[in-house]
Chains A and B, each alone.
Chain A
Amino acid sequence: KTQVEQSPQSLVVRQGENCVLQCNYSVTPDNHLRWFKQDTGKGLVSLTVLVHENDKTSNGRYSATLDKDAKHSTLHITATLLDDTATYICVVGANTNTGKLTFGDGTVLTVKP
């Protein structure tokens, strides 16, 4: 059973629109949650890390929330740009050993002109 489920699998928006990506997980314990951006054919780039119950983070046009009770996180992208076209990956860290990460399959976001 997939321990980190992301939705939607894919999403198409127009440049300038906002979008919300969802991540539900069953990993226990859930020490922290990360969001990464992966451009096609490239490696993962960290966007944000959430640690505490009801954590909220902001990184430019990216903002994220974490609800540990619900085991749920959201990534909001405001005023999308063409360069936001990428796969966004949710990752849950089970403990303080960083190697023990559980990755979601990602949401493929396409931003059209």
Chain B
Amino acid sequence: EAAVTQSPRNKVAVTGGKVTLSCNQTNNHNNMYWYRQDTGHGLRLIHYSYGAGSTEKGDIPDGYKASRPSQENFSLILELATPSQTSVYFCASGDGTGGAAETLYFGSGTRLTVL
């Protein structure tokens, strides 16, 4: 069974603090993605990766960094968290076959509140 696990499930951070959101997948998928979900916007792509050592900017990368140290792990880093980054963050993995043929598996999300 494909699995994507995010941690923590909930996080409260202070403005200016550093936040790291973690994602682990046991699917051996090449592609991994970080999205944020806000009311009125749908999910928006922050960063993605094609494999260990690679990170690419998505549609809204400003204020975020990403790290893919291994096939299984993909982290999202907020070096200086701001209240505008309060959101629900989703990680996903994909089997990398491309386009419509790629199956995507999502984690359960991390709810981040920046005070």
Asked if A95 and B99 make an inter-chain contact with CB atoms under 8 angstroms apart, the answer reads yes
Asked if B103 and A46 make an inter-chain contact with CB atoms under 8 angstroms apart, the answer reads yes
Q: How large is the interface on A (under 10, 10 to 19, 20 to 34, 35 or more residues)?
A: 20 to 34
- Which of B62-70, B73-81, B104-112 has 4 or more CB atoms under 8 Å from chain A? B104-112
Task: Say if the beta carbon of A41 comes within 8 Å of chain B.
Answer: yes
Give A34 to B109 CA distance when docked, in angstroms: 20
User: Which of these, B40, B48, B90, contacts A99 with CB under 8 Å?
Assistant: B48
Given A103-B43, A106-B42, A98:B90 Cβ within 8 A: no
Asked if B100 and A31 make an inter-chain contact with CB atoms under 8 angstroms apart, the answer reads yes
Identity of the chain B residue whose Cβ is nearest the Cβ of A102 in the assembled complex: B42
Q: Type the 1/0 row for A71-84, where 1 means its CB is closer than 8 Å to any CB of B.
A: 00000000000000
- Shortest CB–CB separation between residue B43 and chain A, in angstroms? 4
Chain B: how many interface residues by the 8 Å CB criterion?
A: 28
Interface of B is mostly: strand
Residues of A within 8 A of B98 (CB): 96-98
Identity of the chain A residue whose Cβ is nearest the Cβ of B56 in the assembled complex: A99
- Shortest CB–CB separation between residue B24 and chain A, in angstroms? 14
Q: List residues 63-113 of chain A with CB under 8 A from any CB of chain B.
A: 89, 93, 95-106
Residues of A within 8 A of B71 (CB): none
Residues of B within 8 A of A34 (CB): 100
Q: Which of B31, B41, B104, B108 has the most CB of A within 10 A?
A: B104
Residues of chain A touching chain B, judged by Cβ–Cβ distance below 8 Å, are 4, 31-32, 34, 41-46, 49, 51, 89, 93, 95-106
Q: List, sorted by A's number, 7 A–B pairs whose CB atoms are closer than 8 Å.
A: A51-B100, A89-B42, A89-B43, A96-B98, A98-B102, A100-B45, A105-B41
